[in-house]
Amino acid sequence: MKVNVSEQPMPTGRSASPGGTEQDRQPAIRPAHVDPVPLAEIAALLGLPQEGLEDGPAVTGVTLDSRAVLPGDLYFALPGATRHGADFARQVVDAGAVAIVTDPDGAQQLALSETSVEVPILVLDAPRAAVGAAAALVYGTGRGAGLTLLGVTGTNGKTTTTYFANALLRALGHRTGLIGTIEISAGGEPIPSRLTTPESPEVHAILAVMREKGVSAASMEVSSHAIEFGRVDGVRYDAVGFTNLTQDHLDLHGTMEDYYAAKARLFTPERAARAVVTVDDVWGRRLAAEAPIPVTTLRTEAGGADGSDTADWTVADPRRSGVGTAFELRHADGTALRVRSGLPGGFNVANAALATLLVLAAGASAEELQRALDTDPFTVEVPGRMQLIGTAPAAVVDFAHNPDALERALDAVRPAGAGRLIVVFGATGQRDQGKRPIMGAVAARGAEVVVVTDDDPHDEDAAAIRADVLAGARAEDAGHGLGRRIDEVAPRAEAIRHAVSLAGEDDVILVAGRGHEAYQEVKGVNVALDDRLELRAALAEHGRPVAPAGPGFPSAGTDALESDAQ
């Protein structure tokens, strides 16, 4: 059975998931119960005629991964980089798929196939654009699955802001969920996933699982990749937040203008009810002016003489509190909230302020919010984000992997006395090459000792990547007579040991770029490598004191999610 409809084409983004053998099948993240949805109802949602579907099957799941199909699923057969999802039609039907949605090429492939499939085939010009809406209908999650849902986007700070928001929501009495690059959890229980940024059917299934587990509020990182490739289609947030926009991911977007446009698509009525936008940079001020939804503005840094310091809320009176910062959030009407970030750096002040205002925008009152803030919720440890590993020398691991984040991280950990700052970092292969020399220059300006090593080379020559970074560092050093020590050391574990061997007890070591990541991708192979474990081991080898390992600290052999370079 075939039903056709024409629609406006949209970018299809990344490929459909490949097929595989039974041994390769992926564990499906699904709620325990789904009310079956008639296929005709889904066809109507997608703008397709329902003739011939009145007695069609009922759908209880949605997937575009042929390896994750369960009985009752609607399978989206999408074009891939090397194969089309239609290639796996026979195996998904055998696994229990009750219908297939595909594009005209997929439909033609199925029509010409020698192997027939005995399920309805629905044809759309751009089926990827329909995946999220179908999943939201089947799982009942189009309005957040009955829970308060926060989304955070921007170049830097997404992970920490979502952790902060969840901690504050817990302090308010919520049972919380989290969808991010480090973990996916519901009420503190991990939800296993091999995907770092889930596709839209998995996002909706996770929200439905959260609902079943009694989660009342959740926070989610929303990367530009997630927006560009439709991974959050069909999701509507109660409040979305914007951190900042700096150079990154131009390998995908091409220009900063296109990068901004991808982020701005989150701030629309179909995706969010309201927004909190940090207006420290020109992109944030533009977004606040252009977003067609109610916007609360936040300024965390001093503005300019052009009046760009105007905002609804501002950070005031920041002062050192332990390794973190205590400050006030002041509204233009005189309302004030007392806040403390337990993590070092001005950027974590910004993250804490944004998290606070997101929870406020989602419906908490200022009075109950202050009571929750007084419990110091932002002392939560965020894996791989300003994570203290050693104490003398102070040794820190951070995810900073672009020029702005690296500069801010260096400023945050700079020794107060006569000690030196030693930085270990590299750049990712097959990604925005233009930022490599810029990062090298940032490191030379900010650290007395620069150790350039490998990040994730992917399929690119690692030495060539290091050469690009080194060129920027050495040019900055020579051009300004900085007198820096600039070393090239690979592999990365050896670079970390080298940095420790150079450090005195008053120095600070910053290992930047990979944060929580547990694997390094080299020529298609995932090599076990966790900066936190390597740095801890190197400090121990040299008899240097290490910081207490928190409850989330990895152990050797930990199988952690690899990051999506958000």
Same domain for 234 and 326: yes
Whether residue 516 is contained in a domain is answered as yes
End-to-end CA distance of the chain: 41
321 beta partners: 324
Range of the domain at 422: 387-541
* Secondary structure of 53-101 in HEC code, one letter for each residue: CCCCCEECEEECCHHHCCCCEEEEECECCCCEHHHHHHHHHHHCCCEEE
Whether residue 339 is contained in a domain is answered as yes
Read off the pLDDT of residues 477-499 as tens digits, 9 standing for 90 and up: 999 999 999 999 999 999 999 99
What pLDDT was estimated at residue 83?
Answer: 94
Same domain for 182 and 97: no
Of the candidates 121, 138, 155, which is a domain's last residue? 138
Same domain for 264 and 286: yes
Same domain for 156 and 284: yes
What pLDDT was estimated at residue 178?
Answer: 94
CATH of the domain at 429: 3.90.190.20
Q: How far is 191 from 184, CA to CA, in rounded Å?
A: 5
Same domain for 341 and 231: yes
Across 98-254, where does the E strand assignment appear? Answer: 99-102, 121-123, 148-153, 176-179, 184-186, 189-190, 217-221, 239-242
Whether residue 414 is contained in a domain is answered as yes
Domain count, the chain: 3
Tell me the pLDDT of the chain (566 aa) as tens digits.
333 332 222 333 333 444 333 334 456 789 999 999 999 999 999 999 888 898 889 999 999 999 999 999 999 999 988 999 999 999 999 999 999 999 999 999 999 987 788 999 999 999 999 999 999 999 999 765 689 999 999 988 898 999 999 999 999 999 999 998 888 999 888 886 655 568 999 999 999 999 999 999 999 999 888 898 899 999 999 999 999 998 665 556 568 899 999 999 999 999 999 999 999 999 999 999 999 999 999 999 876 545 567 899 999 999 988 888 999 999 999 999 999 998 888 889 999 999 999 999 999 999 999 999 999 999 888 888 888 899 899 999 998 888 988 998 999 899 888 899 999 999 999 888 889 999 999 999 999 999 999 999 999 999 999 999 999 999 999 999 999 999 999 999 999 999 999 999 999 999 999 988 888 999 888 999 999 999 999 999 999 999 887 656 776 544 333 332 33
pTM, full prediction:
0.81
Q: How far is 398 from 383, CA to CA, in rounded Å?
A: 9
Same domain for 158 and 84: no
Same domain for 315 and 188: yes
Same domain for 326 and 196: yes
Same domain for 512 and 369: no
Beta sheet of 99-102, edge-to-edge order: 2-4, 121-123, 99-102, 73-77, 61-63
Q: How far is 309 from 303, CA to CA, in rounded Å?
A: 4
Whether residue 63 is contained in a domain is answered as yes
Same domain for 363 and 267: yes
CA atoms within 13 A on the CB side of 67: 13
Same domain for 392 and 369: no
What is 412-447 written as a DSSP string? Answer: HH--SSS--EEEEE---TTS-TTHHHHHHHHHHHH-
Q: Token pair for residue 480? A: 């300004």
